[in-house]
């Protein structure tokens, strides 16, 4: 793979993913598919122990989740090649709860007051207009609508929405709430 800066990355296989529903028809029958996604264990191994999978092929999610899964899968692969168990334990030890200070957190926000909590955050609960929800919706139910020159909103067509939750799972800001459609 030749990068824009001219650097060449050597690879046996390159799989390009854009956050869409995965087309898994190319996979060998030895790889188990469940509900349209590749089934993996805690080490990102598929039913074919020589094949690992991460990212959108195992389910919708954030790119940060895919990056973390890729790192954990790489550590597991490295351990397997070295003849060890793929279990590498936690990458970082958990912080002792007694060392955590709450003085940095705004005490007015709680799980009961998520609207105010979301308003305080720079990104959580506030759309950054990334368009991931539009791109990932398999039914084209989400549209970006300009309200005026400086404002917009994303609208869902309830006649097209199938309630798959891909928008909610992929949104880096957590703005989507799934509400059942009412019968007409």
CATH number of the domain at 32, please.
3.50.50.60
- Phi first, then psi: what are they for 73, rounded to 5°? -65, -40
Q: Model-level pTM?
A: 0.43
For 12, the token pair is 């046996």
Q: Is the pLDDT of residue 117 over 70?
A: no
- At 152 the three-state DSSP class reads strand
Q: Is the pLDDT of residue 122 over 70?
A: no
Count of domains for the chain: 2
10 Å CB burial of residue 75 (0-12, 13-18, 19+) is middle
For 93, the token pair is 């030890």
pLDDT for the residue numbered 39 = 95
Domain that holds residue 56: 1-92
pLDDT for the residue numbered 32 = 96
C-alpha Rg value of the chain to the nearest Å: 21
- 61 and 140, same domain (yes or no): no
Q: Is the pLDDT of residue 1 over 70?
A: yes
- 60-105 pLDDT per residue, tens: 888 788 888 898 899 999 999 999 988 877 556 666 777 766 655 5
Domain end marker among 92, 110, 128: 92
CB neighbour list of residue 32: distance below 8 Å, 6 or more residues apart: 38, 39, 46, 47
Give me the residue label for tokens 């926000």.
Answer: 109
In a domain, 184, yes or no: no
Do residues 133 and 176 make contact, with C-beta atoms less than 8 angstroms apart? Answer: yes
**What CATH number does the domain containing 111 carry?**
3.30.70
- 58 and 123, same domain (yes or no): no
């Amino acid at each position: 793979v030749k990068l824009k800066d001219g650097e060449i990355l050597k690879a046996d296989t390159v799989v390009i993913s854009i956050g869409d529903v995965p087309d898994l028809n190319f996979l060998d029958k030895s790889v188990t598919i469940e509900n349209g996604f590749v089934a993996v264990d805690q080490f990102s191994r598929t039913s074919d122990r020589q094949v690992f999978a991460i990212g959108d092929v195992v389910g919708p999610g954030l790119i940060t989740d895919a990056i973390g899964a890729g790192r954990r899968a790489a550590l597991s692969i490295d351990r397997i090649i070295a003849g060890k168990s793929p279990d590498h334990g936690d990458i970082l030890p958990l912080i002792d709860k007694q060392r955590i200070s709450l003085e940095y957190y705004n005490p007015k926000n709680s799980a009961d007051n998520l609207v105010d909590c979301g308003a305080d955050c720079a990104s959580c609960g506030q759309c950054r207009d990334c368009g991931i929800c539009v791109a990932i919706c398999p039914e084209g139910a989400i549209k970006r609508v300009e309200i005026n020159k400086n404002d917009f909103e994303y609208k869902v067509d309830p006649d097209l929405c199938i309630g798959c939750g891909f928008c909610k799972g992929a949104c880096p800001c957590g703005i989507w709430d799934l509400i059942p459609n009412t019968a007409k």
